[in-house]
Amino acid sequence: MKLKSTFAMLALGLTFLFACNNEQKSEATNETAVADETAVDETEATSQEKAEITLNANDAMQFDKNEFTVSAGQTVVLTLNHTGKQPAASMGHNFVLLTQGTDMATFATAAMAAKDNDYIPADGNGVIAHTKLIGGGESDTITFTAPEKGTYDFLCSFPGHYSIMKGKFIVQ
């Protein structure tokens, strides 16, 4: 009888031990899940802080994208790639983000006189950010802070390009 009682107690003890151990594992798993959720939240916050944009321009006077959407105050890292072969002197491209209310045609006309400044008017009026003028096979990367909510125009200010090479920069 004592032997059966001892086995019963041992079995009960082991059951209790495994049950407690599983509860600890469950708590540890939950802590890991919470830690993983926190890591995801931090990654989302980081991606919201920085928008990386790649814009390609070619010898046919075309941007490969004509619209971008970012968040107000977000850090924007924009890379302009000239995928063509022609030099900047004959088929240069740049990216110019204009302030709201800036007339593109008026800006482009003023830009034509600014050859020595990568076709960016020296006074900088109407410009939020811009790349340098690049030729075939070249790239330029700029970093700037997205302005307040609204829709902004962007263009290539090389003479004659703005009518085709333009788009919308949407800030939410």
Tell whether the model's pLDDT for residue 17 goes beyond 90. Answer: no
pLDDT reported for residue 64: 98
Do the domain assignments include residue 9?
A: no
Do the domain assignments include residue 16?
A: no
Do the domain assignments include residue 132?
A: yes
Residue 166 confidence class, pLDDT cut points 50, 70, 90: very high
Q: Whole domain around residue 71: which residue ranges?
A: 50-171
C-alpha 76/C-alpha 68 separation (Å) is 11
Give phi and psi for 87, each to the nearest 5: -70, 165
CB-based contacts of 41-45 (< 8 A; 24+ apart in sequence): none
Q: What angle do CA 47, 52, 58 make, to 5 degrees?
A: 160
Number of domains in the chain: 1
Residue 113's contacts (CB-CB under 8 Å, 6 or more residues apart) are: 121
Model confidence, pTM: 0.72
Q: DSSP 3-state helix, strand, coil percentages of the chain (rounded to 5)?
A: 35, 30, 35
- Tens digit of each residue's pLDDT (9 = 90 or more) over 100-136: 999 999 999 999 999 999 999 999 899 999 999 999 9
How large is the average pLDDT for residues 155-171?
A: 98
Do the domain assignments include residue 31?
A: no
- Tens digit of each residue's pLDDT (9 = 90 or more) over 32-89: 344 444 444 333 444 468 999 999 999 999 999 999 999 999 999 999 999 999 999 9
In 3D, which of 95, 77, 78, 76 has the Cα closest to residue 134? Answer: 95
Do the domain assignments include residue 3?
A: no
C-alpha 89/C-alpha 71 separation (Å) is 35
Supply the CATH number for residue 130's domain.
2.60.40.420
Do the domain assignments include residue 146?
A: yes
Do the domain assignments include residue 35?
A: no
pLDDT reported for residue 49: 80
